Amino acid sequence: MTKVVKFGGSSLASAEQFRKVGDIIHAEDARRYVVPSAPGKRFASDTKVTDMLYACYDLAAKGKNFDEEFERIKQRYNEIISELGLDLSLEDEFSTVKSCFIGRAGRDYAASRGEYLNGIVLAAYLGYEFVDAADIIFFTDSGEFDPERTAKAASERLSKLERAVIPGFYGSMPNDTIKTFSRGGSDVTGSIVAAAVNADIYENWTDVSGFLIADPRIVDDPLPITTITYKELRELSYMGAGVLHEDAIFPVRKAGIPINIRNTNAPMDSGTMIVESTSQKPQFTITGIAGKKGFTVINIEKDMMNAELGFGRRVLEVFEKNGISFEHMPSGIDTMSVIVHQEEFEPKEQEILSGLHRNVHPDSIDIETDLALIAVVGRAMKSNRGTAGRIFAALAHAHVNVKMIDQGSSELNIIIGVEEKDFEAAVKSIYEIFVVHQL
């Protein structure tokens, strides 16, 4: 068996955390390829190394002295090296990084050095080969990830190595400059490596024991999700559920490789398995609840709009011309509602309203702001009758007024719109009826 293991910043924030990571990797011979993030926060008021590098580079780019800030970055790594008792010096690497900062190598280069340096330290600690991600992960001239070239190079290089450490978060452009993925991109690197080596499992180690059914900031001690499908994960991630960078799903999904979300600080917890499909029956009707605030609903009314050819297209054309994508679009015979992000809509509100009047000549347009959307997701909802009714009963019991409902044809999720002030109460009431009452 071959496993690719990725460790987040909190998992590698200190020498103590490095030791935990080392114990986890050496506990299973299958853990052959390791993808590290840059050192994260050691305590609540601490600063992530990536943020320190950004700040340092910004000073350098302005021609200001950054010696003091750079020294603090060196101290973070040297402290880890010293406490681990490693015979390793990063002085040459630090010198190169500093010179590149002065030479304005770019913010992507600056940010990537956190993972790069941490990868060197981790490889030395584990006794694994170090492979620079810039040598096997590639982007096109336009800055888009190049999956074909990457897959070929990564497979060829890693197939020759029994064990290796590949830093996350970055790759290289055709002109050899460094390009990073978006924040959380180490998850993507881990997924790319897993696909390249045809791993049996991609383990993503973080500071939580997998996904939870609901946000622990809203629901007290929500239960963990033991197994979730890629489709369910996409729905929950899109609606705000964190833990995994959502772009990390695609490379392993294509290769049929399951992802196991694990906790570095509680390695005995089995975590959450993310799979293509499963015959396992879930414990509850729903798999998870996630939501976001900050939406606006534009309600358009016009008699006989359903008989008017191209009505919906002309409505969406107005939003497209103003550079705004819609989230949901529930409709009736004579009504259509377009839900958008409030902060994107507000600056272009009047242009959009006048555009709608020109394009579709509505009888009336009504705008509702401060809407929250909640996604109730679960593969078991399809086979359980009355799910929507139970949701509405729970919300009514909690005195929450439902402003909108939208159910996908896959019957995998139900989206509910409520006022922002009712968001937390709505999530709690749904969790209560589907989880607490089923225990």
Give CA–CA dist 10/17, Å, rounded. 8
Q: What is the pLDDT of residue 31?
A: 98
pLDDT of 248: 75
Task: Decide if pLDDT at 247 tops 80.
Answer: no
pLDDT surpasses 90 at 399: yes
- Mind spelling out the 3-state secondary structure of 326-377? CCECCECCCEEEEEEEHHHHHHHHHHHHHHHHHHHCCCEEEEEEEEEEEEEE
Place of tokens 């922002």: 420
pLDDT at 94: 98
What is residue 246's predicted lDDT score, i.e. its pLDDT?
63
The pLDDT of residue 238: 74
- The topology (CATH level 3) of 3-275 is Carbamate kinase (3.40.1160)
At 70-113, the pLDDT tens digits run: 999 999 999 999 999 999 999 999 999 999 999 999 999 999 99
State pLDDT tens for residues 370-385: 999 999 999 888 878 8
- Looking at the predicted structure, is the pLDDT value of residue 242 above 70? no
For residue 184, pLDDT beyond 80: no
Report pLDDT for 438: 81
pLDDT of residue 409: 65
Whether residue 144 has pLDDT greater than 70: yes
Write a three-state SS string for the chain.
CCEEEEECHHHHCCHHHHHHHHHHHHHCCCEEEEEECCCCCCCCCCCCHHHHHHHHHHHHHCCCCCHHHHHHHHHHHHHHHHHHCCCCCCHHHHHHHHHHHHCCCCHHHHHHHHHHHHHHHHHHHHCCEECCHHHCCEECCCCCECHHHHHHHHHHHHCCCCCEECCCCEEECCCCCEEECCCCHHHHHHHHHHHHCCCCEEEEEECCCCCECCCCCCCCCCCECCEEEHHHHHHHHHCCCCCCCHHHHHHHHHHCCCEEEEECCCCCCCCEEEECCCCCCCCCCCCEEEEEEEEEEEEEECCCHHHCCCHHHHHHHHHHHCCCCCCECCECCCEEEEEEEHHHHHHHHHHHHHHHHHHHCCCEEEEEEEEEEEEEECCCHHHCCCHHHHHHHHHHHCCCCEEEEEECCCCCEEEEEEEHHHHHHHHHHHHHHHCHHHC
pLDDT value of position 331 = 86
pLDDT at residue 237, rounded to an integer: 78
User: How much is the pLDDT for 241?
Assistant: 63
Lowest mean pLDDT among 236-240, 420-424, 435-439: 236-240
Q: How confident is the model at residue 278 (pLDDT cuts 50, 70, 90)?
A: confident
315-367 per-position pLDDT tens digit:
999 999 999 999 888 888 899 999 999 999 999 999 999 999 999 999 999 99
Contact predicate 277/232, CB 8 Å: no
Nearest-angstrom CA–CA distance, 403 and 301:
16
- Has domain 288-438 been given CATH number 3.30.2130.10? yes
Q: What is the mean pLDDT of the chain?
A: 93
Q: Which pLDDT value is given to residue 439?
A: 75
* Residue 292 φ/ψ, nearest 5 degrees: -140, 150
Give residue limits of the domains in the chain. 3-275, 288-438
Give the model's pLDDT for residue 266. Answer: 95
How far is it, in rounded angstroms, from Cα 385 to Cα 244?
Answer: 31
Region 278-292: mean pLDDT is 89
- The pLDDT of residue 277: 86
Contacts of 257 (CB under 8 A, 6+ apart): 194, 195, 198, 199, 200, 201, 202
Q: Which CA distances in Å does 62 have to 49, 59, 81, 102, 194? A: 20, 5, 31, 10, 40
Higher pLDDT, 238 or 431: 431
